[in-house]
Structure 1
């Protein structure tokens, strides 16, 4: 429900999408997610890991002398939290306006991947993080174990399904495509597209039982097996052709080469994920 000030037109109903920025509401909100999901988990296995994780933060993330790393939480004789603890250093770093927006996201990713979480804990953290990102109109969502510049829920579900329901080789291509797309400092859209289409190529070969080496032949075999519309086959062959022509993605760079943007790479990741999900569903139907 809109608040009084929003209904009166004093404050905007929606803030601008935060793509390369992070306002105070978002920064504080994300810290509160860490507080609820990680820092407050006394008596939980997460809590027992924090001293070890502090050393990893010191050594790998902050790149500070390891012999200066304190315990994650340190209390005085009256059981009050002191400033001489890793928690306080992390908090000051996270909430400081001198810390860049992408460094905050780096910290969240690092922490999430260093903590050994149960599936329930992972799901809770991802749901809460994505809720906060959506609430504050951030242009990022947590997908798999990475923050990605994809804000549409259907796109997220499509990619997650492709990551979860395919074999190791296909999943590896999609994970790499996602990683190259979501690198906030030096994204590689060209190779992200290459990995996305390679995932489709890999799945088609696998579903066609490895009977053919050519992508077009594999699609023809799958068309025969699954009875999907020929237009879908033609459409994906054309998309594959976009990545394979003389100036395409899968060839060495030249002056005439394509220079894809974020939108191109995102489109290919979502489209290739959706097509793989479609092929898996169609082949499953054909077995019944």
Structure 2
């Protein structure tokens, strides 16, 4: 992880979460933690570092130095972990706008990094169109089940230390099943027949219908295809990425036609 990338991301964190570090008296002496910095560091020490809050430095300036040292010296996946933790915690008290993830993405793009924020999750996707589909499925989606499955698929796929491509694919498939269930109002339990009814009800273009049927071949249990996919020994990053992006786009489309047609 190049220093220029760390520096850019650190500056974004400072601006959004680690500003107004200390309260000072009339002559400029530090008297304690700033209100926002106190709240943020409390969460970081307790939930991220998983240490007693008593171990947080008494001086807010030392606490800031501790965070900086962690971010610049630890492996990239730990630095990204802190970044993602802050993104998931939402906007700080000092900011109404919650564009922290998008500001980080500008730095990722500038430095040509392999990760981007999709919603509040760091994913190993750089193409803007692909990223948009995953982000929409995770955040701007009326189906809670689709959100949950895509978010989990993204986490498993993008885990920097131990990615789990097999279970990421399973979660992506489950998102499609959840989307079909959302559109039809039927309980999940395979989607082949419900999908055909959706295609007939909404008069999908033949090319779309053909494409969806081919995509579903990966997630279908017909003819043992799904079982064979899950038993494949050498599932790769590309397999999990394809399923994450394709199933996100497929789920988004199904949900959108439900909203459009009612």
Task: Report if aligned partners of 1:174, 1:269 keep a CA contact under 8 Å in 2.
Answer: yes
1:55 to partner: Cα distance: 3.5
Structure 2: 5+ residue stretches without partners:
23-33
- Structure 1 runs (4+) deviating above 6 angstroms are none
- SS where residue 122 of structure 1 aligns? coil
Match of 1:14 in 2: none
Contact 1:148 1:178 in 2 (8 A): yes
Hey, what does 1:277 align to over in structure 2? Answer: 252
> Paired residue for 1:112, among 70, 87, 91?
87
C-alpha contact (below 8 Å) 2:18/2:40 kept by paired residues: no
Cross-structure match for 1:39: 18
Structure number with greater Rg is: 1
Distance 1:241 1:95, change over 3 A: same
How far did 1:212 drift?
8.6
SS at match of 1:147: strand
State how 1:65-214 maps to structure 2 within 5 Å: 66-71=53-58, 73-74=60-61, 85-96=62-73, 99-114=74-89, 117=92, 120-123=96-99, 125-163=100-138, 164-210=140-186, 213-214=189-190
**TM-score when normalising by structure 1:** 0.75
TM (norm. structure 2) is 0.82
1:142 match: secondary structure: strand
Take 1:39 and 1:151, find their aligned partners in 2: how far apart are those partners?
27
Q: Does 1:225 align with 2:201?
A: yes
Once residues 157 and 72 of structure 1 are traced to their aligned partners in structure 2, the CA distance between those partners, rounded to angstroms, is 41
Aligned partners of 1:156, 1:252: CA distance in 2, in Å? Answer: 24
- When residues 285 and 116 of structure 1 are mapped into structure 2, their CA distance, relative to the original with a 3 A threshold, is closer
Over aligned residues, Cα RMSD in angstroms? 2.8
1:51 is aligned to: 38
State whether residues 54 and 71 of structure 1, in contact with CA within 8 Å, keep that contact through their aligned partners in structure 2: no
**CA deviation map 1:222-250 (0-9, x unaligned):** 11221003443343333333344677555
The Cα shift of 1:260 comes to: 1.7
In structure 2, the CA distance between the partners of 1:170 and 1:133, relative to structure 1 (3 Å rule), is same
